[in-house]
Amino acid sequence: ALGDRSRSLLRSLILRDEVDSTNAQLLALMEAGTGHAVVMFAEHQSTGRGRRGRHWVSPFGAGILLSVGWEFSGGVQSLEGLSLSVGVALARALGRFEVPGVRLKWPNDIWCRGRKLAGVLLELKGDLTDRCGVVIGIGLNSGLRGQAACAIDQPWADLQQVCPGIPRNLLAATILDELLPLLKDYPEQGFRAYRDAWAALDQFAGQPVVLQSGTETWRGTAAGVSDKGALILEMAGELKYFHGGEISLRGQ
Ligand code: BTN
């Protein structure tokens, strides 16, 4: 069901029953050469990776476990905001199936009706100054039968419960149709092309939030994202900018 553009951007599509982690597999296997994607789907991961060192857990055959490998030239700075843009691509794919209540939570969670539906984990490979391999891992909860998707400490949503009957393969192809052209065009477009779309889907815009980084905590009002994808927090009338990494964000 892949569209022509994504078909032309796809070098190989690997389908696996069982792997340790699709991200780990693709990091090991990325081939040199820009302008095309290497894609892996798995039915199950024994050690699926989440952000901030957490595990991503889902039963065999549930949801979507996907990694996309892409090589960029232009160094790691050309990837600013990429993980947020991937969130926009996922939201657009879900929008094509009219999934209700989809929102984005900085830096790269997809929420649905106030709960986490999908997560994105970017991992980098290479010297990061010129050629730079990126593996984009996406885990989407669907048909979890009550098992938590991530060793998560936040409420999670299940697509099959929110919006039953979406064919899994069609959703997977639709995600690739949104994502692969984005990757191809990203070096020219950058996050500027996605900032407004991200802002329109911002789960916490204008709301009081708590940010945690290591032992430090900041409280303020979420004031959107910058051109580079940094979270803007308003604290006592001043704006402070936070860049991704190990930071977690919560509503108050
Ligand atoms: C998060 O913590 O929200 C990010 C979760 C990312 C999970 C996906 S599942 C497919 C890919 N392979 C992995 O090991 N992790 C990502």
Q: Mind listing the domains of the chain with CATH numbers?
A: 4-200 (3.30.930.10), 208-251 (2.30.30.100)
Q: Which long-range contacts (CB under 8 A, 24 or more apart) does 144-148 make?
A: 144/58, 144/59, 144/62, 144/63, 145/59, 145/62, 147/57, 147/58, 147/59, 147/62, 148/57
Alpha helices in 38-109, H assignment, sequence order? 82-95
Distance 51 CA to ligand 1 centre (A): 7
Quote the CA–CA distance of 22 and 252 in Å, as a whole number: 34
Q: Which secondary-structure segment (H or E) carries 136?
A: strand 132-140
Cα 174 to Cα 7, 65, 166, 167: the distances in Å are: 12, 14, 11, 11
Mean pLDDT by 10 residues, the chain (252 residues): 90 96 92 79 96 88 94 85 96 98 94 94 83 92 74 80 95 97 94 96 95 90 94 95 77 70
Place of tokens 């959107």: 224
- Cis, bond preceding 107 (omega within 30 deg of 0): yes
Ligand 1 atom 9, closest CA: 139
Quote the CA–CA distance of 20 and 37 in Å, as a whole number: 21
Which residue from 56, 64, 112, 135 has its CB within 8 A of the most atoms of ligand 1, so it is best to mutate?
56
Atom of ligand 1 nearest to the CA of 118: 3
Atom of ligand 1 nearest to the CA of 23: 12
Tokens read off for 30: 């990325």
pLDDT at 154: 75
Quote the CA–CA distance of 35 and 228 in Å, as a whole number: 23
Atom of ligand 1 nearest to the CA of 21: 14
Quote the CA–CA distance of 138 and 118 in Å, as a whole number: 7
The residues assigned a catalytic role are 51, 116, 250
Ligand 1 atom 15, closest CA: 49
* Confidence check on the interface: ipTM exceeds 0.90, yes or no: yes
pTM: 0.94
Which residue from 121, 134, 246 has its CB within 8 A of the most atoms of ligand 1, so it is best to mutate?
121
DSSP conformational letter for 159:
H
Q: Give every CB contact of residue 242 below 8 A, 6+ residues apart in sequence.
A: 211, 213, 218, 230, 231, 232, 233
Ligand 1 neighbours, Cβ below 6 Å, are 21-23, 45, 48-51, 54, 56, 65-67, 109, 119-121, 137-139, 150
Other C-beta atoms lying within 10 Å of the C-beta of residue 213: 13
pLDDT at 103: 98
Other C-beta atoms lying within 10 Å of the C-beta of residue 236: 6
Residue 50 DSSP SS3: coil
